[in-house]
Structure 1
Amino acid sequence: MLSRPVMLLGRVPAPRLRLSAFRLRSQSSLASTIGDFTAKLHHPKFSVAARDVRILLKPTEFHDQLKEMIERAQTRIFISSLYLGSMESDLVVSLQRALERRPHLRLHMLFDFNRSTRPEPKSTAKLLAPLIAQFPERVHISFFRSPSLRGLMAKLVPPRFNEGWGTWHAKIYGVDNEVMISGANLNKSYFTDRQDRYIHFSASDQQRLSHYCFDFIRTVSNFSFRLLPPAKDSLPEHSVRTEEYNLRWPLPETHPHQIHGFAQTALTSLQESYRHLTSEPLDPGKFALYPLMQAGQFHIRDEEQTLHLLFEHLNSVQNSRALVDLTSGYFGLYEPYQKLVLESSNVDCRIVAASPRANGFYGSRGVSGRIPEGYTLLEQRFMNAVAAANRQNSVQLTEWEREGWTYHAKGIWVSDTDPDALPKLTIFGSTNLNSRSAHIDSELSFLMVAPEGREEAALRMRRKLFVERNYIRAWSKPWKGAERKVRLGTRFLAWLVGGML
């Protein structure tokens, strides 16, 4: 059971989050068994030196790091995100200046089609169209369209709600051989007052990782709409023509609603092409990094399979309990994941979810304004399941709230149950660990596992993970969802949309 419950549930003041303030345990009874878990993984594996990993804590750091990366880019910039915010013209200018400075620099970007082509004055497509016109040979921008929304529904669903049938959700920010993985999008709030996670891998020894992320973007671009200037030339079938830009469909013989087989083959082939790295021995003192795709509509479930293996392993470890810290800005834990949490009697779980006020939809107009209330309903159902499983002492839910901020962080940290134990592994990236992420959206996350032994560089990295986890928990407080009322209309909408929340 969770030890020292007052400390675990209490709020830790952010100003006190200094490394020297913690008693840090370097030894872990859990650590010696993690190798048994990773031996069962068959995903590509990258070896990462601890000195090359930087964990950022604040949105402003994410913004500054991204701008610095663009400024020093020499040969390529590759970005994957849900969308580019309408206020981010300065970021477009940064990209433009980088392309002007470096004649050999190329730009590859991948976004979600529905989110990026909304009929608004400054959609992502409209903001980026001038770059295509100025650098037609060096800029490649694509928009992935989920095939789940099709037929009559594709014509009837308003643009503001068509994301409910799936989005391109992977977040990759890379230049040359350095990469930053996050859950954050390219919008002002994500740069100022929307909390997320951000892990940066420097360029010194990350060629394989950066090539993988670059290949991942290019692979999906092969079955996505390509942004082009608004020329009057003929376009392949299924392409889209507007006054400001054209969207060229690259597979004229395949309808955009029927790409399931093509996408599954392409993404599976990408994983296979890097799978030879799995058998390579890990250098002493280096972290192992495993990419986890999750695209349920294409029958790709790396994340789901990995979490099943992880909980199965943690629950089987003798003479040691594991502590899983889990967080999601949109907490509607996928039902098989709920089962893992509730049935793993040897695993304690602390969960941080966004409070209603920290939900990005809080105060929205119309139906979307009920979304925070919908997540309260899902949290109530989860906590009822916790009580029914008699797991109240080992599964705790807290809510994140900070005045004027919203919450978007997601991921997992695993350590011993002692609150001072250093995390042994973490999962980070785009997944919200909910039904949407499992079935509808297309995600990319990473599992990072610390090496065995007591090398100082590795311990420093684990301390950074410890600080990151506690920085996020610093703004959490006891869950109050049981006291909140959920209107009948919200219950009906939650039933209607099901796993789209």
Structure 2
Amino acid sequence: MIKRAEHRIFISSLYIGSEESEIVRGFFFSKDRGISLKVYQLDVISHELSVKPQLHAYFHLDLHRSTRPGASSTAKLLLPLLTTFPSRVHVSMFRSPSLRGLMAKIVPPRFNEGWGTWHAKIYGVDNDVIISGANLNKSYFTNRQDRYLHFNDQPLFAQYCYDFLQTFAKFSFRLHSTSDTTVISPHSFIQDDYILQWPDPHIHPHHIHEKVREALTEFQSSRRVASQIQLDTNEDSFKSKQRVFIFPIIQAGQFAIREEETVLQTLFRRVNALTSGYFSLYQPYQKIILGSRSVDCRIVAASPKANGFFGSKGISGRIPEGYTHFEKRFMRAVGRAGRLWKEAASGNFKGIQLWEWDKPAWTYHAKGIWLSPSSKALPILTLFGSTNLNSRSAHLDTELSFVMVLPSHQMDAEQDVHKSVDDIPATACSPQDDLSSETESSTEASQDTALNLRERLQHEIDNIRMNASTWKGARRDVRFSTKLMLWFLKGML
């Protein structure tokens, strides 16, 4: 994608990894060695900028995570690129205003992320976009399971993502070299060998809550119409189209923007499967799942060894054990509600099932929801993006996710479908097909394309479950000191 860039590259991530100089900007599959991952240096973007004078690169990152002390920080990593192309490389770093006052001065690096991060994961080039939950570092490209949805040649969708990032750039610090002293302004600061410039001298970066809320409300209101993704059939003789609806969901709880909660409260009433790398479901979502007796829910979460914090030093090493505590508490509530997974008289399984994902030497970071009319039907909807579906995502981090609603007029007639897609609440907006001018044969081809996409989503679920097994957390001990840590951290996990 980057090598094809003509006008813009826009990257949004929590941070960009630098461990062992494995800066990830792209990768390719080697034909002569089979499938193998190749990691590029900053030369990839630098080269494209040098040969394409009209090309701009935009980075949107979390300030605390990207400015950790040390030579390998993301900020220092980007400085050479910024210095070489000062007018065409734009680096914005968002800092959560929830950490302010005395706490902002005394909380050490690494722990300061507990008050909220920039968490949106968008990787775009011109009109191509990859939406993921992954960051740009070595583990995600080698041995960490995540989700990646690539939208090719979708100008409306790409422009939405770009404009979302530009909206937040107005409330983010901008990275500059210390050689550019003209950018120093009120609330800016110098750190090591770079400057973090605050763009609006009239408002303190700790007091942006109301302005961000107003900007996001206006932004979403002006783009309320759902993006439409056109599905092309592979048949050159048909070239028929069918729309897939994409609904953007912004969750920025600290700015009173809670679209995720509104949407998920609706979706959980029809949820069929969900997954999260860090299982600590937001309490309102748990209550909905437990109270919706007509809905069956299969959950996949990381096992302790597949948690990215497994084996970490200090307090962070207790995090996998902390998630075991959350899982135990949730499963006790499932039992009290009489919703434990069991076989019904019809032969189908009903209730709530918790599995744990475990693959030797791998970690698990995938997150999302898949909605099916029944346990035997293909998915008709998926939620994807950055959210972990937990309290932290709801209240502290800034998240961008999407709901994709798939064409569903050909509803698994050959399968045991007990509910129609029409049963989905109106807010889910199952799309109407716009094929009135097409021939019967082209309509069938388009339907086949939509069905193929639903099958691919099912394949994604099957691949995740391939490495999942029955939850074993009931047999794991959780130390009192870990419970005390969770009480202290409250919604930070």
In the other structure, the counterpart of 1:58 is none
In the other structure, the counterpart of 2:449 is 457
2:79 aligned with 1:129: yes
Is the Cα contact below 8 Å between 1:129 and 1:244 reproduced in 2?
A: no
2:127 aligned with 1:177: yes
In the other structure, the counterpart of 1:37 is none
SS in 2 for 1:212: helix
In the other structure, the counterpart of 1:162 is 112
SS in 2 for 1:136: coil
Counterpart code for 1:152: L
In the other structure, the counterpart of 2:462 is 470
Give 2:285's match in structure 1, choosing from 320, 325, 337.
337
2:5 aligned with 1:80: no
Of 331-340 and 449-458, more deviation after overlay is shown by 449-458
Counterpart code for 1:297: Q
Of 372-381 and 277-286, more deviation after overlay is shown by 277-286
What is the alpha-carbon root mean square deviation over aligned residues? 1.7
Q: Label 1:281 to 1:103 Cα distance change in 2 as closer, same or farther (>3 A).
A: closer
Per-residue CA distance 1:114-152 (angstroms, 9 max, x = gap): 000011111000000111110011111110000111111
SS in 2 for 1:386: helix
SS in 1 for 2:161: helix
Per-residue CA distance 1:250-273 (angstroms, 9 max, x = gap): 111111111101111111111112
Q: In structure 2, what is the Cα distance between the partners aligned to 1:357 and 1:279?
A: 40
Per-residue CA distance 1:341-376 (angstroms, 9 max, x = gap): 101111100000000000000000011100000000
Counterpart code for 2:281: L
Of 251-260 and 272-281, more deviation after overlay is shown by 272-281
Work out the number of aligned pairs and report it. 421
Q: In structure 2, what is the Cα distance between the partners aligned to 1:88 and 1:437?
A: 28
Q: In structure 2, what is the Cα distance between the partners aligned to 1:368 and 1:487?
A: 14
Counterpart code for 1:84: I
In the other structure, the counterpart of 2:362 is 405
1:417 CA drift (Å)? 2.9
2:168 aligned with 1:220: yes
Q: In structure 1, what is the Cα distance between the partners aligned to 2:146 and 2:367?
A: 7
Pairs within 5 Å for 1:17-96:
69-86=1-18, 87-89=21-23, 90-96=40-46
Q: In structure 1, what is the Cα distance between the partners aligned to 2:42 and 2:285?
A: 39
SS in 2 for 1:333: coil
Q: In structure 1, what is the Cα distance between the partners aligned to 2:261 and 2:155?
A: 27
Counterpart code for 1:73: A
Is the Cα contact below 8 Å between 2:95 and 2:172 reproduced in 1?
A: yes
Per-residue CA distance 1:448-473 (angstroms, 9 max, x = gap): 01113231110000001000111111
Is the Cα contact below 8 Å between 1:88 and 1:186 reproduced in 2?
A: no
In the other structure, the counterpart of 1:210 is 158
2:283 aligned with 1:327: no
2:412 aligned with 1:436: no
Q: In structure 1, what is the Cα distance between the partners aligned to 2:303 and 2:172?
A: 35
SS in 2 for 1:285: strand
In the other structure, the counterpart of 1:370 is 318
Is the Cα contact below 8 Å between 1:285 and 1:452 reproduced in 2?
A: no
Q: In structure 2, what is the Cα distance between the partners aligned to 1:300 and 1:346?
A: 30
1:94 CA drift (Å)? 1.2
Counterpart code for 1:271: Q
Of 242-251 and 373-382, more deviation after overlay is shown by 242-251
1:155 CA drift (Å)? 1.2
1:416 CA drift (Å)? 3.0
Q: Label 1:373 to 1:430 Cα distance change in 2 as closer, same or farther (>3 A).
A: same
Q: Label 1:369 to 1:277 Cα distance change in 2 as closer, same or farther (>3 A).
A: closer
Counterpart code for 1:329: G
Q: TM-score, normalization: structure 2?
A: 0.83
1:309 CA drift (Å)? 2.0
Per-residue CA distance 1:161-213 (angstroms, 9 max, x = gap): 1111000000000000010000000000011101000000001xx11100000
Counterpart code for 2:119: H
In the other structure, the counterpart of 1:149 is 99
Counterpart code for 1:472: I
Q: In structure 2, what is the Cα distance between the partners aligned to 1:431 and 1:479?
A: 22
Q: Label 1:226 to 1:280 Cα distance change in 2 as closer, same or farther (>3 A).
A: closer
1:284 CA drift (Å)? 6.4
2:423 aligned with 1:447: no
In the other structure, the counterpart of 2:219 is 270
Is the Cα contact below 8 Å between 1:284 and 1:451 reproduced in 2?
A: no
Q: In structure 2, what is the Cα distance between the partners aligned to 1:195 and 1:152?
A: 38
In the other structure, the counterpart of 1:244 is 193
Per-residue CA distance 1:28-50 (angstroms, 9 max, x = gap): xxxxxxxxxxxxxxxxxxxxxxx
Of 400-409 and 447-456, more deviation after overlay is shown by 447-456
2:300 aligned with 1:352: yes
Counterpart code for 2:386: S
Give 2:490's match in structure 1, choosing from 482, 495, 498.
498
Counterpart code for 1:238: H
1:214 CA drift (Å)? 0.5
**Which stretches in structure 2 are left out of the alignment for 5+ residues?**
24-39, 232-239, 342-350, 411-446
SS in 1 for 2:457: helix
SS in 1 for 2:223: helix
Is the Cα contact below 8 Å between 2:122 and 2:132 reproduced in 1?
A: yes
Counterpart code for 1:82: L
Percent identity reads: 57
In the other structure, the counterpart of 1:20 is none
Is the Cα contact below 8 Å between 1:362 and 1:369 reproduced in 2?
A: yes
1:103 CA drift (Å)? 1.0
1:221 CA drift (Å)? 0.6
Counterpart code for 2:11: I
**Which stretches in structure 1 are left out of the alignment for 5+ residues?**
1-68, 315-322
Q: In structure 2, what is the Cα distance between the partners aligned to 1:426 and 1:272?
A: 23
Counterpart code for 1:151: G
Counterpart code for 2:400: L
2:51 aligned with 1:101: yes
Q: In structure 2, what is the Cα distance between the partners aligned to 1:425 and 1:395?
A: 19
In the other structure, the counterpart of 2:336 is 388
Counterpart code for 1:478: T
Q: Label 1:456 to 1:234 Cα distance change in 2 as closer, same or farther (>3 A).
A: closer
Q: Which has the higher contact order (CA 8 A, sep 6+)?
A: 1
Q: Label 1:280 to 1:329 Cα distance change in 2 as closer, same or farther (>3 A).
A: closer
In the other structure, the counterpart of 1:193 is 143
Q: In structure 2, what is the Cα distance between the partners aligned to 1:324 and 1:250?
A: 45
Per-residue CA distance 1:63-119 (angstroms, 9 max, x = gap): xxxxxx111111100010000001344342211111112111001110000000011
Give 2:242's match in structure 1, choosing from 267, 282, 285.
285
1:277 CA drift (Å)? 4.9
Return the structure number with greater helix share: 1
Is the Cα contact below 8 Å between 1:327 and 1:351 reproduced in 2?
A: yes
1:380 CA drift (Å)? 0.5
